[in-house]
Amino acid sequence: MTIHRSKGLQFPVVFVADTARQFNAADTRQPVLLHRVWGAGLRLRPEGGEGAYKTAAYTALSTVHAAEMRSEQMRLLYVALTRAQDKLILTVPLGIGRTSNPFAKAAAFLAAGAGETLNAQAGSFADWLRAALLVHPNGGPLRRLAGNLELPFADTRSTIALTVQADVLPPEEAPAEAEEPPRPEADPALVETLRQGFGWRYPAAALADIPAKVSVTSLVHAAEQTTLERPGFLSKDGLTAAEMGTALHAFLEHADFGALAAVRDAEDDAVLAAVRAERERQAAAQLTPPAIAGKLDVYKILRFVRSEAFRRICGAENVLRELAFITSLPAAEVMAAQGRALPDGPAADAGVLVQGIADIVLVYPDHLELLDYKTDRRKTPADFVRAYRAQLEFYAKAIEKRFAPRRVTYKGIYSLELGELIEV
């Protein structure tokens, strides 16, 4: 039981052990010392030099912290010494070595009348207990260990019984160590059992390297452009490439394809007017932030309305936009898409949940088509295919599971930058 937990309790017999444990003085050695009354103290590091020096303020605060720490430890020791009803047993290590004798040191301070200094230097309960026992009328055995200096006795009516254990006498008086007994022969059966136990391997350990769930974009992260936040010094009047891409995606996600289809074969001015009207509708409905809607590149939408991609959209039985999915795929396929080594054995057949969102799924009576918008710049059609083939393959597998038995017969990327539909 700790001393803190013993507060308020009483016991017939109490042992106070581990008295030589050093006080925790970490608070006196921090780089910066703070005190609610005396302020702050810092170490001084010379410019261009190494090490740090204690300033006067730092030394003063370190002394204050040390005094407060010892005061708290003294209160703890008082609690420990007052828990016993009948008998209190203290275990105090002698700590006597060839070059050190804490009893002789304490006796020298006490004989010189420097007990307060000794108290202020205490680093453990044992330091206080040794000093107290040296001046107790029954402390003769300890005074002999201290060199029989003349010490003032404490005025007390308490009685103590001191026992000095023979196995903790100074090294020159301690008996020689006994020879180590021979080691017993190892039990072969026990050795084999231990070897098998420590050598056991979890049969499905390979699964630890396989993710339980991934997103499609993480599988093809190499194809994704790095999106950085707009620097604070840039004007808000313009849009970054990433913000323009977001604006185009948001517009196409919420666009009234029926209204745009009605002007698909009209003059450019009519199509642009329909695009602007749709832009205003989305801004009024708060589908697209006005700041972004106002900067939308309507000419890219014009090219989209004239494109093969929009022709396919108009011919579909049903158009599903931003279709979220989650499906299970074999671990071997997922690991291959990540460019990692394929797992061996049963782990290759383990299922991994794959999650994503498809931009456009076109539903026909007997088949499906998959379209994906991309706003990447400075890419050729071959670059798009190489970068996003794996992404669309995963989309297609997930969508086919959802709409079985219909199959995805066409996968295409519409580049808003190129104004071109690219078959994958």
20-29, 69-78, 79-88: the lowest-pLDDT one = 20-29
pTM of the model: 0.50
C-alpha 298/C-alpha 271 separation (Å) is 10
Cα 377 versus chain centre, distance: 37
Number of other CB atoms surrounding residue 119 within 10 Å: 14
Residue 29 DSSP class: S
C-alpha separations of 394 from 220, 243, 335, 398, 423 in Å: 10, 26, 13, 6, 15
The pair of structure tokens assigned to 353 is 């949940």
Half-sphere exposure of 312 (CA within 13 A, CB side): 25
Could you write out the DSSP letters of every residue in 362-396? EE-SSEEEEEEEE--SS--HHHHHHHHHHHHHHHH
- Bigger pLDDT: 373 vs 143: 373
Please name each of the domains of the chain with its CATH number. 3-90 (no CATH), 216-224+239-423 (3.90.320.10)
Phi-psi group of 306: left, alpha or beta (phi > 0 → left; psi -120 to 50 → alpha; rest → beta):
alpha
| pLDDT at residue 174 is higher than 50 | no
Q: Which helix (H) or strand (E) holds 12?
A: strand 11-16
Distance CA 417, CA 384 (A): 12
Cα atoms found within 13 Å of the Cα of residue 180, Cβ hemisphere only = 3
- Region class of 256: left (phi > 0), else alpha (psi between -120 and 50), else beta: beta
Nearest CA to 158 out of 88, 91, 78, 77 is that of 88
Which of the pair, 246 or 258, is modelled with greater confidence? Answer: 258
Longest alpha-carbon distance in the chain: 118
Q: How far apart are CA 17 and CA 92, in angstroms?
A: 7
Average pLDDT over residues 4-11: 88
Q: Which tens digit of pLDDT belongs to each residue from 316-341? A: 999 999 999 888 888 877 777 666 77
φ, ψ dihedrals at 367, nearest 5°:
-160, 175
Q: What percent of the chain has pLDDT over 90?
A: 27
Average pLDDT over residues 111-125: 83
Alpha-carbon gap, residue 124 to 25, rounded angstroms: 11
Query: Does the pLDDT value for residue 65 go beyond 60?
Result: yes
Task: State the pLDDT confidence band at 225, using cuts at 50, 70 and 90.
Answer: very low
Cα distance between residue 399 and residue 394, in whole Å: 9
Give me the sign of the Cα torsion angle 206, 207, 208, 214. Answer: positive
Range with the poorest average pLDDT among 161-165, 255-259, 379-383: 161-165
Looking at every residue in the chain, the average pLDDT score rounds to 83
pLDDT, position 240:
66
Model confidence at 164, pLDDT cuts 50, 70, 90, reads confident
Cβ atoms of 124 and 115 within 8 Å: the answer is no
